[in-house]
């Protein structure tokens, strides 16, 4: 037990040294409990913090001038988020919990220590940033070039793949904590149309609803119509610096 959710995540890629573990634990020595729907940061607020999510779900989003919302990413346990604070003094996105959640804020000074003293962790942070960038480019293609049905399918597939990565016990059933309105805001659709697409996916035998849970009945099929590429499979860590 490392006591650090984030260290556990990273340890799945490379065995960490004690010194590295201690450095990561320092990012999580200030956990905070929040109820569902709590605002963590609002866009444009001054913000020097980033977060590691220990329990629960969160999401980041943008509100446009006309009041519409674009959900940027869902955050699950072990995720580091709010990382744009590393580059900007003001939050570039709003962060909110989607369930009761425990999160660990840490400030940029803590990040400085990691970069200064732990080059291998720094490289891992960079790798994670690149993986998230790729995830965003995949979603860009999804919104820009695929149908409503495909976009919903892509969101659901991505949730399944990511949640299963965190919990190997998950096979085909995931909690669907999102309202259809939120699915719409993530996929660039209206809630009404999301409802129709969910029904269509169910009629195609791809998914099934089961009191609050979503059952993916045909993962291959869902991934296929979603144009989904599973990139979580493996990262290339061959170039990492020696640990300290």
| DSSP category for residue 188 | T
CB of 120 to a copy of itself, least distance (A): 8
**Closest of 75, 78, 47 to residue 61, by C-alpha:** 75
Task: Give the C-alpha separation, 189 to 193, whole Å.
Answer: 7
Name the binder of 190 from DNA, a copy of itself, none, CB < 5-8 A by kind.
Answer: DNA
CB of 211 to a copy of itself, least distance (A): 30
Task: Give the C-alpha separation, 148 to 154, whole Å.
Answer: 10
The answer to whether residue 181 forms part of the interface with a copy of itself (CB under 8 A) is no
Task: Give the C-alpha separation, 234 to 127, whole Å.
Answer: 12
Parallel/antiparallel/unpaired status of strands 207-210 and 69-75: unpaired
Total site size for a copy of itself, rule CB under 8 A: 59
CB of 139 to DNA, least distance (A): 15
Subset of residues 29 to 58 that bind a copy of itself, contact rule: CB under 8 A? none
Residues in Cβ contact with 100 at an 8 Å cutoff, skipping those fewer than 6 apart? 33, 34, 35, 36, 55, 56
CB of 25 to DNA, least distance (A): 34
Binding segment (CB under 8 A) for a copy of itself, from list 34-42, 69-77, 168-176, 204-212: 69-77
Name the binder of 212 from DNA, a copy of itself, none, CB < 5-8 A by kind.
Answer: DNA
Residues that bind DNA (CB under 7 A): 147-149, 179-181, 188-193, 195-196, 198-199, 209, 212
The answer to whether residue 146 forms part of the interface with a copy of itself (CB under 8 A) is yes
Strand order in the sheet with 173-175: 173-175, 213-216, 207-210
The answer to whether residue 130 forms part of the interface with a copy of itself (CB under 8 A) is yes
The answer to whether residue 139 forms part of the interface with a copy of itself (CB under 8 A) is yes
The answer to whether residue 188 forms part of the interface with a copy of itself (CB under 8 A) is yes
Per-residue contact flags (x/-) with a copy of itself for residues 71 to 90, judged by CB under 8 A? -x----------xxxxxxx-
Task: Give the C-alpha separation, 183 to 227, whole Å.
Answer: 18
**Closest of 76, 135, 123 to residue 102, by C-alpha:** 76
Subset of residues 95 to 124 that bind a copy of itself, contact rule: CB under 8 A? 108-109, 111-112, 115-116, 119-120, 122-123
The answer to whether residue 137 forms part of the interface with a copy of itself (CB under 8 A) is yes
The answer to whether residue 220 forms part of the interface with a copy of itself (CB under 8 A) is no
What are the φ/ψ torsions at residue 32 (nearest 5 degrees)?
A: -135, 135
Name the binder of 198 from a copy of itself, DNA, none, CB < 5-8 A by kind.
Answer: DNA
Task: Give the C-alpha separation, 180 to 191, whole Å.
Answer: 5
């Amino acid at each position: 037990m490392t006591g650090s959710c984030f260290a556990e995540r990273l340890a799945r890629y490379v065995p960490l040294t004690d010194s590295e573990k201690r450095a990561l634990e320092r990012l999580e020595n200030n956990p905070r409990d929040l109820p569902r729907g709590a605002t963590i940061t609002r866009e444009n607020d001054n913000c020097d913090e980033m977060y590691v999510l220990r329990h629960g779900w969160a999401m980041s989003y943008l509100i446009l001038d006309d009041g519409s919302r674009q959900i940027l990413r869902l955050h699950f346990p072990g995720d580091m988020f709010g990382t744009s604070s590393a580059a900007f003094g003001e939050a570039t996105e709003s962060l909110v919990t989607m369930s009761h959640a425990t999160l660990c804020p840490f400030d940029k000074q803590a990040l400085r220590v990691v970069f200064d003293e732990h080059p291998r962790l720094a490289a891992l942070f960079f790798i994670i940033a690149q993986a998230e960038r790729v995830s965003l480019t995949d979603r860009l293609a999804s919104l820009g070039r695929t149908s409503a049905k495909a976009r919903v399918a892509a969101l659901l597939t991505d949730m399944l793949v990511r949640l299963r990565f965190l919990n190997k016990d998950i096979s085909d059933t995931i909690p669907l904590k999102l309202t259809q309105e939120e699915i719409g805001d993530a996929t660039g659709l209206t809630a009404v149309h999301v409802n129709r697409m969910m029904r269509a996916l169910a009629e195609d035998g791809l998914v099934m609803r089961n009191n609050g849970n979503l059952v993916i009945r045909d993962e291959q099929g869902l991934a296929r119509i979603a144009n989904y590429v599973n990139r979580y499979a493996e990262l290339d860590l061959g170039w990492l610096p020696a640990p300290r």
